[in-house]
Structure 1
């Protein structure tokens, strides 16, 4: 069994061809899609975070709203750029959102990706320490957050407080027990995956990877996941870690699917991003039987326990719900990811 969720980048555009023409459209449709995905039997609703862009940016209001509207589905990010984050304020926001969701938050973090502006984190009041890169700063912010999420007291109480204090040093509130074990790190290299394991974080293997061997994306990604799990074992953590990968996967089951995505198979792409040679994973789009065979050959999907389907959010809630249901109904059972067809409206009508 494999957990299946969706990952939305939350784009909007004033174009008449877009189903999300404003930030309000994207936010409200994100909530509606999470509700629909839960009804279909999906396991997760995840959202990308980008600053200075017409995309989802501040995740916690959205996560809290999704948490209040759903009851079962995991709610997460993929990922929050920690170069921009005050870990103290973030610990309070995350604790609040997790409590509203009843402990379903799966918080994905990273050191960040290429930006819309030059050194955007400086506008948020952050700058690397002497001798530190911006990536180092992001990882340092993450380490502080992890420590705060343990819920241990660290602040000296005021001897004359406005309200009575519990005994001892004070921690940030609200504290959500267990959230520390539901933190994920988005990694594009073997080295940062190993670092994430050492820190006791779950792994979100990125939609791109540093091209470290010249092999196909899914082969390098599978090797990264195995290195992560070995580092986790060496670190001596008691619990079993989780690993997710993200893919664009479309089962072509009707004419609309074929019109949107039936232009032939994708292929890995190689490019340079942030001065790093990177390999980008392919998209999958095929008739269900052929799609099953293609996905069966993807080594990284086989290694992961969670698969996030990247959805074209500007095509609207109904179509994206169809994309998710098509995978749950026509693909997942054949690969052993599900015991049977999805229980959503389309499945019931079949």
Structure 2
């Protein structure tokens, strides 16, 4: 049994083929899709976060809106770039959104991916500390956010406040119990997966990873997950960790599917650079008839290691088509793999 969620990049553009021509279209359709996904039995609605792009950016208004319209589905991100964040203000936003949803937030955070502008976090008013890189800054701010979710007091109260204070040091409010156990670190390397296991964050691993061995993507990713689980075990955390992997999977069950994604059928892993000195491996897409998908996915070692699968969706094709994409996986593929 695995949890199955969708992951939306939240694109929009004034393009004749797009159902999401504006930011408003994307936001409102994201809410509608999450509602429909919950009704069909999908376990999670996750959204990418990219700044300076015609894609979803500030996640908490969207997550709160979905939380108010749904009752069961997990609501998350994959991932929030911590280089752009104020950890304390983010803890307040996250606490409010989690309480609105009744404790269903699953927040993926990380250093983030290469962005649309050079050092975009500087425009948000953030600079690495002396001796830090932007990578160090993102990890430091991630830990500060994670620490705030303990709900411990740290701020000296005003002796003459507008409203009475509880005794002792003050914490951030609103506090969301249990949210700290639902924070995930988005990792592209073995080292950061091990780090996440040590500090006690869950692991998100996407369709991209630094190429550290030359092996096929799914094998490298499976090895990364095993290293994470070992680090978690050695750290002695009291709960079991969660691991998600992202995949582009399309069951070709009608002519429309074959028109949109039939060309993906022969895709293989790709090698490229996401930064000047970082060689990365990009996992293949899966697009085939259901029986063939079941056979191919059963050989994916990383999927076997994960408890959660995030299906990347073509959000620009509209709510109805994405409902079809997700329902096709649930109906024709998931049972054959033992996911349901």
TM-score class, shorter-chain normalisation, is: over 0.9
The residue matched to 1:158 in structure 2 has which SS? coil
Q: Output aligned runs, 1:144-155, within 5 Å.
A: 144-155=144-155
Q: Which residue of 2 aligns with 1:193?
A: 193
- Return the offset for 1:265: 2.2
Cα distance in 2 for residues equivalent to 1:194 and 1:27 = 35
Cα distance in 2 for residues equivalent to 1:208 and 1:104 = 26
Q: Output aligned runs, 1:81-230, within 5 Å.
A: 81-230=81-230
The residue matched to 1:79 in structure 2 has which SS? strand
Report if aligned partners of 1:44, 1:76 keep a CA contact under 8 Å in 2.
yes
Cα distance in 2 for residues equivalent to 1:265 and 1:160 = 69
Cα distance in 1 for residues equivalent to 2:57 and 2:99 = 21
Q: Which residue of 2 aligns with 1:241?
A: 241
- Return the offset for 1:130: 1.1
- Return the offset for 1:16: 1.3
Cα deviation 1:16-56 (Å, max 9, x = unaligned): 11110000000000000000100110000000000000000
Report if aligned partners of 1:265, 1:286 keep a CA contact under 8 Å in 2.
no
Q: Which residue of 2 aligns with 1:28?
A: 28
Q: Which residue of 1 aligns with 2:298?
A: 296
Cα distance in 1 for residues equivalent to 2:127 and 2:29 = 35
The residue matched to 2:153 in structure 1 has which SS? coil
- Return the offset for 1:236: 0.6
- Return the offset for 1:206: 2.4
Report if aligned partners of 1:181, 1:201 keep a CA contact under 8 Å in 2.
yes
Cα distance in 2 for residues equivalent to 1:301 and 1:105 = 22
Cα distance in 1 for residues equivalent to 2:299 and 2:57 = 35
The residue matched to 1:332 in structure 2 has which SS? helix
Instruction: Give yes or no for the alignment of 1:286 onto 2:313.
Output: no
Cα distance in 1 for residues equivalent to 2:10 and 2:75 = 15
Instruction: Give yes or no for the alignment of 1:269 onto 2:278.
Output: no
Cα distance in 2 for residues equivalent to 1:160 and 1:311 = 53
Instruction: Give yes or no for the alignment of 1:315 onto 2:317.
Output: yes
Cα deviation 1:80-135 (Å, max 9, x = unaligned): 00000000000000000000000000000010101100100000010111111001
Cα deviation 1:262-310 (Å, max 9, x = unaligned): 1232110000111200000000000000000000000000100000000
Instruction: Give yes or no for the alignment of 1:258 onto 2:258.
Output: yes
The residue matched to 1:282 in structure 2 has which SS? coil
Cα distance in 1 for residues equivalent to 2:78 and 2:274 = 18
Cα distance in 2 for residues equivalent to 1:267 and 1:35 = 33
Cα deviation 1:192-220 (Å, max 9, x = unaligned): 00011111000001220110000000000
Q: Which residue of 1 aligns with 2:332?
A: 330
The residue matched to 2:123 in structure 1 has which SS? helix
Report if aligned partners of 1:91, 1:145 keep a CA contact under 8 Å in 2.
yes
Cα distance in 2 for residues equivalent to 1:146 and 1:290 = 42
Unaligned runs of 5+ in 2: none
Report if aligned partners of 2:206, 2:247 keep a CA contact under 8 Å in 1.
no
Q: Which residue of 2 aligns with 1:54?
A: 54
Structural RMSD (CA): 0.5
Cα deviation 1:148-194 (Å, max 9, x = unaligned): 00000000000000000011100000000000000000000000000
Moved over 3 A (4+): none
Cα distance in 2 for residues equivalent to 1:15 and 1:324 = 24
Cα distance in 2 for residues equivalent to 1:265 and 1:6 = 23
**What TM-score, normalized to structure 1?**
0.96
